[in-house]
Amino acid sequence: MGRPKIARKSTAVDMTAMCDVAFLLLSFFILTTKFKPSEAVPVSTPSSVANKIAPETDVVMISLNADGHVYLSVGDSQRDKDKKQAMLESINQRFSLGLTPTDIANLKKAPFIGVPIAQLKQQAALSTDQMNSKTLPGIPSQDTARNEMNDWMAAAVQAYQGEKMNLILKGDNVAKYPVFKNIIAAFKKNEQFKFSMVTNPQAVPQGSDLWKDNVSGKAQ
């Protein structure tokens, strides 16, 4: 009995197509990825159902880290940096700190301001990679009596006079409330009644009123 001969087929598969797909996906991910800039002040933000994307221009951001230290930064654009320079100059003048133009240029380049106003000169002397939340004590605002955020907010309001300023507060999950309260007090004192808080997006719980509104298409 002769068995029917089964033709041996090669098990090798043509990999070209798969290779094409793999590299197509790869280029997609490479192009869409946006590396998180290494943050000098690590802050893990809480989640909320807010669905508005945080603005990126004309930003004055106040970071509140886990230890309750407060840092001030601006957006990345040149315009924002110029505003920062204006703020620094007005602070310099008001407190007669005697900062040289080089100091101001250094602080303008710095990722954030994180020292009491009296020590700005020392921060200007540091190099950018020496500035992080471990080395710098933050802007004093724990104390209602000596809340330097008031002065910084006044400078910011002055720098953005007549223009839109996006005031953003980026707080850490475990930061304590009193510092947050003092920051809000500084906003209020300078007549900034609207601000946003940076949060991570979170799904709206099913069955809640907001969920029903969203489903029925009723925009709030």
Partner 1 sequence: MAEMDTSGGGHHKKGPGVKKGKKLSTRVDLTPMVDLGFLLITFFIFTTTMSQPTAMRLALPDDRVKPEDQNKIKQSGALTILLGRDNNVFYYEGELAPDASNFKASNFKEIRDEIISRKRSADTNLVVVIKPSDECTYKNVIDILDEMSINVVKRYAMVDITDVEDQLIKRTEGGGTGGQ
Residue ranges that bind partner 1, judged by CB under 8 A: 10-12, 15-16, 18-19, 22-23, 25-26, 29-30, 32-36, 45-55, 64, 168, 171-178, 180-181, 184, 187-188, 191, 193-202, 204-205, 208-211, 213, 220
What is the spatial distance between Cα 32 and Cα 65, in angstroms, rounded to a whole number? 29
CB of 84 to partner 1, least distance (A): 20
Amino acid (1-letter code) at residue 35: F
d(CA 162, CA 172): 31
Burial class (CB in 10 A: 0-12, 13-18, 19+), 106: buried
Nearer to partner 1, 95 or 211 (CB): 211
Q: How far is the C-alpha of 96 from the C-alpha of 164, rounded, in Å?
A: 28
The three-state secondary structure class of 120 is helix
């690590």: which residue's tokens?
Answer: 42
Q: Which is nearer to partner 1, 125 or 174 (CB)?
A: 174
C-beta of 85 vs 196, nearer to partner 1: 196
Min CB(137)–partner 1 separation in Å: 19
CB closer to partner 1, 88 vs 165: 165
Q: CB of residue 120 vs partner 1: minimum separation in angstroms?
A: 26
Cα first-last separation, the chain: 82
**Distance of closest approach, residue 56 Cβ to partner 1, in angstroms:** 9
Of 32 and 161, nearer to partner 1 (C-beta) is 32
Q: Residue 171: how many CB atoms within 10 A of its CB? A: 25
